[in-house]
Amino acid sequence: MIQINNKQARVCIDPGHGGNDPGAVGPSSVREAVVALKIAKEVMFQLEELGIDSYLTRTEDEFVSLSGRVNESKGSDCMVSIHCNAHSSQAQGIETIYSSAGGKHKALANYVQQSLMKYCQGHKDRGIKMSPSDGYPRKLFVLSAAVIPTCLTEVEFISNVEQEKWLDSDEGQTQIAYAIAQGIKSFLMSLPGAIKSDDRSVEGHPQVSMAVSKQTVEPKLDDKEVPVMRTETADLLAQSTADEIAASQDPTSIFANSNEVEKTEVDLQKKDQDADSSNGLKGSGLKRKSKRRSKS
Ligand SMILES: [Zn+2]
C-alpha cells in the first residue's frame, strides 16, 4: 500500500469524452470514448495491484462535463485524463500534456510519459507538452482548472489504422494501463511523505508460516553431517518411493500434504516475481467492475 502522510494514496482516473461526445472516431469506427473507458478501468485494476486506491470520473458511456470531471478529482492525490489523439492517417506516437502551472503537474506528466515509453515499446515518443504553449496552442480545461496534480495523456492516434487496431485490442489496452499505473506509482512515491507500507501487510501473512513449516520439513545440510546425511538420504529416497505409492492411493497422506506446502510456496514466489517483473504484464482481462466515488 502507498501512503502519503499516513493516508492511503487515492487517484482519480478520467476517461475522456463519453455519451453524446464520442471523441475522435478511427477509420474502422473505433470510438475514442470507448477506448478511453476500457483503458481507464484497466488502470484501476493495475493500481489496485500496486496497492493504490482509485476511482473513475465516469464508469459508463455517459456524458460528464469538464467542470464535473475536475470536481470529481478534488481530494485525491492526482488525476490522469486518458485520451486518444487524431490527425492524419500517418500520424503516430504518444504524448502527455500538462498545464502552464508546471510544478507537480509537469512532474506527473513526465512520470506517465516516461513509463508509457518504457512499457509501450515501438511507439514514437512525442514527449510532454505544456498547454497552452507554442508547441501546443490549445488550452485544455481539465488542465487549466486542475485543483490537484493533473495530466492528460494522448495514447496514440486513433486516426492511424494500425494504431487504432492496437488501441482497440485487449493487449494494447493492458499495456497502456500498466504503463500509466506504473507512472502514477512513481509520481506518488516522489511526493513528500510518501511511503510504501508493504512491511505491515506481510505480518501474519500465510507465506511466513509456510516458510517456517517448510524449514522443519526439510533437514538442514551441514558439512560435517554430510556423510550421515548420505545414508539417510538413501533411506529417505527409499521411504519416499514407498510413500509415493501410498500417496497415489491415499491423497490425505503426509507426503501429499508436504508436497502441497511446497507447491503453495512456489506459487507465492511466482506471484511475487510477477509483481516485481516489469515484463510480466498481468491484465485483468478487462472484466473487472469499476467504482465511482459517490458524490457528497
Ligand atoms: Zn480526446
Q: Is 278 exposed, middle or buried (0-12, 13-18, 19+ CB in 10 A)?
A: exposed
The pLDDT assigned to 213 comes to 36
In sequence order, the β-bridge partners of residue 152 are: 81, 97
Ligand 1 midpoint to CA 33 (Å) = 8
Ligand 1 midpoint to CA 36 (Å) = 9
CA atoms within 13 A of residue 243's CA, in its CB half-sphere: 14
Each residue's pLDDT, cut to its tens digit, for the chain (296 residues) gives: 999 999 999 999 999 999 999 999 999 999 999 999 999 999 999 999 999 999 999 999 999 999 999 999 999 999 999 999 999 999 999 999 999 999 999 999 999 999 999 999 999 999 999 999 999 999 999 999 999 999 999 999 999 999 999 999 999 999 999 999 999 999 999 999 999 986 444 333 333 333 333 333 333 444 444 333 333 444 444 454 444 444 444 444 334 444 444 344 444 444 444 444 444 576 775 544 455 554 44
Ligand 1 midpoint to CA 255 (Å) = 59
Domain ranges of the chain: 2-197, 206-275
Q: Which positions ≥6 away from 256 have C-beta within 8 Å?
A: 247, 250
Ligand 1 midpoint to CA 98 (Å) = 14
Ligand 1 midpoint to CA 47 (Å) = 22
Q: Give which of 96, 59, 54, 58 is closest to 75, Cα–Cα.
A: 54
Query: How far apart are the C-alpha atoms of 263 and 259, rounded to whole Å?
Result: 6
Ligand 1 midpoint to CA 76 (Å) = 22
Position 294: which residue type?
Answer: S
Ligand 1 midpoint to CA 24 (Å) = 7
Task: With beta carbons less than 8 A apart as the criterion, state whether 286 and 38 touch.
Answer: yes
CA 239 centroid distance within chain? 47
The pLDDT assigned to 50 comes to 95
CATH no. for 2-197: 3.40.630.40
Ligand 1 midpoint to CA 35 (Å) = 10
Q: Is 199 exposed, middle or buried (0-12, 13-18, 19+ CB in 10 A)?
A: exposed
Ligand 1 midpoint to CA 97 (Å) = 12
The pLDDT assigned to 292 comes to 58
Ligand 1 midpoint to CA 61 (Å) = 14
Ligand 1 midpoint to CA 81 (Å) = 9
Ligand 1 midpoint to CA 57 (Å) = 15
Ligand 1 midpoint to CA 82 (Å) = 8
**Three-class HEC string of the chain:** CEEECCEECEEEEEECCECCECCCECCCCCEHHHHHHHHHHHHHHHHHHCCCEEEECCCCCCCCCHHHHHHHHCCCCEEEEEEEECCCCCCCCEEEEEECCCHHHHHHHHHHHHHHHHHCCCCCEEEEEEECECCECCCCHHHHCCCCCEEEEEEEECCCHHHHHHHHCHHHHHHHHHHHHHHHHHHHHHCCCEEECHHHHHCCCHHHHHHHHHHHHCCCCCHHHHHHHHHHHHHHHHHHHHHHHHHHHCCCCHHHHHHHHHHHHHHHHHHHHHHHCCCCCCCCCCCCCCCCCCCC
The pLDDT assigned to 205 comes to 39
The pLDDT assigned to 129 comes to 98
pTM of the predicted structure, to 2 decimals: 0.71
The pLDDT assigned to 197 comes to 84
Ligand 1 midpoint to CA 2 (Å) = 30
Ligand 1 midpoint to CA 223 (Å) = 67
